[in-house]
């Protein structure tokens, strides 16, 4: 069973019971359930404090606000599954956005080509990070910390004396976060997503039964599928009542589905979990751990670059502060809050989205309440510390009960 399945699927040994679910939550399992409860509590608090929080307009804005961070967080999840860290994702996102802006605006490149160039910058940086980590055995913390500084300097060099570049409207780059699907297309996307999730869940159960493995009982599975489908359709209804389903949301969800499939349904994904769980055992099993590490760092930086481009698209500009501020903190904090372990080998791709919703909801709600930046930073830092503490505590409990 992969780390994602352990986090999201209740064990069936001994039957399904409330007490068993509580024990699993205490061991850090059912991470998605825990974070969904947290989101419900957060939304309730802010809805009581400000009646605009749950309005369709604000929830649409929230979905656009978290798109960039969620995209970056997907790559962060991959790195965390290895038991590594990438502190350069924020700087990489800013640099890639600057490259796209300069090439498309100042040099007149087509938006599509400039976009690909920005993604390529991220890929090359990720390959470099992985190369330094695997060949020279430099800890990823050190390599990416150096990159955090170096790529910020590269950002300043790319932008030049102007210090900022404004992106024109009605281009591929800006349309990603400023265009919306029609109501009919939005419903088609929602129904399709619910159907794909249901089919995937039931097919996964059938495969486990065919392989002679434990499988989720049919009743809890039906309930889970029904809840997820209802959540998808409610989200589409809310977005359609405002401006429609944003392109950015469709992009992020597509990335989530793609990398969920890669990590949970492919040999490559199983190798990522194996390397993160026990690198020496993975090496003895014949897994090319160096190739896995390098490729994961390359994917993480490429996704960071894409996230930076989405952020620039939403703001219509790139400047010297792009990729700085709390981007790095939010990109790492989100998955950890949603159940991806800092110690490697445990987590799931959807924690990037769930964590982004938690962090984004807190930030959005505090903005609506007019809280000062110092208070916002302290609260966000406290949430991250609490999440890491819970992660460490559940790891100790799993070791004690192993």
Q: How many domains does the chain have?
A: 1
| Residue 227 is assigned to a structural domain of this protein | no
- Give per-residue burial for 302-319: e unless 16+ CB within 10 Å, then b: bbbbbbbbbbbbbbeebb
| Residue 369: CATH number of its domain | 1.10.3470
Which residues does 21 contact at the CB level (< 8 Å), separation at least 6?
10, 30, 33
Among 164, 350, 343, residue whose Cα is nearest residue 255? 350
Helices (H), strands (E): how many in the chain?
17, 2
For 79, counting Cβ atoms within 10 Å of its Cβ (0-12 exposed, 13-18 middle, 19+ buried), the class is buried
Is the separation of the CB atoms in 53 and 43 below 8 Å? yes
Long-range interactions of 222-227: CB distance < 8 A, separation 24+: 225/197, 225/198, 225/201
The string of pLDDT tens digits covering residues 83-112 is 999 999 999 999 999 999 999 999 999 999
| Residue 239 is assigned to a structural domain of this protein | no
Backbone angles phi, psi at 16, to 5 degrees: -100, 125
Give the separation between CA 373 and CA 360, rounded to whole angstroms.
Answer: 14
> For residue 166, what are the β-bridge partners?
317
Which residues does 315 contact at the CB level (< 8 Å), separation at least 6?
none
CA angle 391–74–5, rounded 5-degree value: 55
Rounded mean pLDDT for each run of 10 residues along the chain, 402 residues in total: 43 48 49 77 93 95 96 97 96 97 95 97 98 96 96 96 90 95 95 89 88 85 88 94 95 94 93 94 95 98 98 96 89 87 86 92 92 84 77 70 64
| Residue 213 is assigned to a structural domain of this protein | no
pLDDT of residue 395: 67
Give the separation between CA 222 and CA 183, rounded to whole angstroms.
Answer: 28
Which residues constitute the domain of residue 127?
3-179+246-401
| Residue 61 is assigned to a structural domain of this protein | yes
pLDDT of residue 30: 52
| Residue 189 is assigned to a structural domain of this protein | no
The model's pTM is: 0.89
| Residue 197 is assigned to a structural domain of this protein | no
Among 234, 286, 272, 251, residue whose Cα is nearest residue 348? 272
Give the separation between CA 386 and CA 365, rounded to whole angstroms.
Answer: 19
206: its two tokens: 């059938």
| Residue 238 is assigned to a structural domain of this protein | no
397: its two tokens: 């409990």
Is the separation of the CB atoms in 299 and 293 below 8 Å? no
| Residue 201 is assigned to a structural domain of this protein | no
């Amino acid at each position: 069973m992969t780390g994602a399945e352990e986090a999201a699927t209740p064990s069936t040994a001994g039957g399904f019971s409330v007490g068993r679910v509580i024990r699993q939550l205490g061991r850090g399992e059912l991470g998605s359930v825990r974070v969904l409860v947290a989101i419900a509590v957060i939304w309730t608090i802010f809805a009581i404090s400000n009646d605009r929080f749950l309005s369709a307009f604000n929830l649409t804005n929230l979905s656009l606000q978290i798109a960039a961070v969620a995209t970056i967080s997907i790559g962060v999840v991959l790195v965390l599954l290895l038991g590594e860290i990438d502190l350069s994702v924020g700087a990489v996102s800013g640099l890639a956005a600057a490259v796209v802006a300069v090439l498309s605006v100042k040099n007149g490149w087509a938006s599509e080509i400039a976009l690909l160039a920005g993604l390529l910058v991220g890929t090359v940086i990720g390959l470099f990070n992985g190369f330094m980590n695997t060949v020279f055995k430099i800890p990823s913390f050190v390599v990416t910390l150096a990159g955090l500084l170096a790529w910020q300097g590269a950002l300043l060099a790319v932008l030049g004396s102007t210090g900022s570049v404004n992106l024109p409207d009605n281009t591929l780059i800006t349309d990603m976060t400023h265009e919306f699907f029609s109501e009919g297309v939005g419903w088609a996307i929602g129904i399709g997503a619910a159907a794909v999730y249901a089919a995937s869940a039931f097919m996964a159960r059938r495969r486990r039964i065919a392989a002679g493995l434990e499988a989720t009982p049919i009743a809890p599975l039906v309930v889970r599928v029904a809840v997820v489908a209802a959540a998808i359709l409610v989200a589409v209804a809310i977005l359609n009542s405002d401006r429609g389903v944003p392109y950015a949301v469709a992009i992020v969800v597509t990335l989530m589905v793609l990398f969920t499939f890669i990590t949970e349904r492919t040999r490559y994904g199983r190798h990522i979990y194996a390397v993160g769980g026990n690198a020496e055992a993975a090496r003895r099993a014949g897994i090319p751990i160096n190739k896995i590490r390098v490729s994961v760092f390359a994917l993480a930086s490429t996704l960071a670059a894409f996230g930076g481009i989405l952020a620039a698209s939403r703001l219509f500009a790139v400047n010297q502060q792009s990729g700085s501020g709390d981007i790095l903190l939010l990109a790492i904090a989100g998955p950890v809050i949603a159940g991806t372990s800092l110690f490697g080998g445990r987590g799931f791709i959807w924690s990037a989205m769930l964590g982004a919703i938690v962090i984004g909801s807190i930030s959005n709600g505090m903005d609506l309440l007019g809280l000062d930046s110092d208070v916002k930073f302290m609260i966000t830092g406290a949430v991250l510390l609490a999440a890491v503490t819970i992660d460490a505590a559940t790891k100790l409990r799993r070791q004690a009960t192993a």
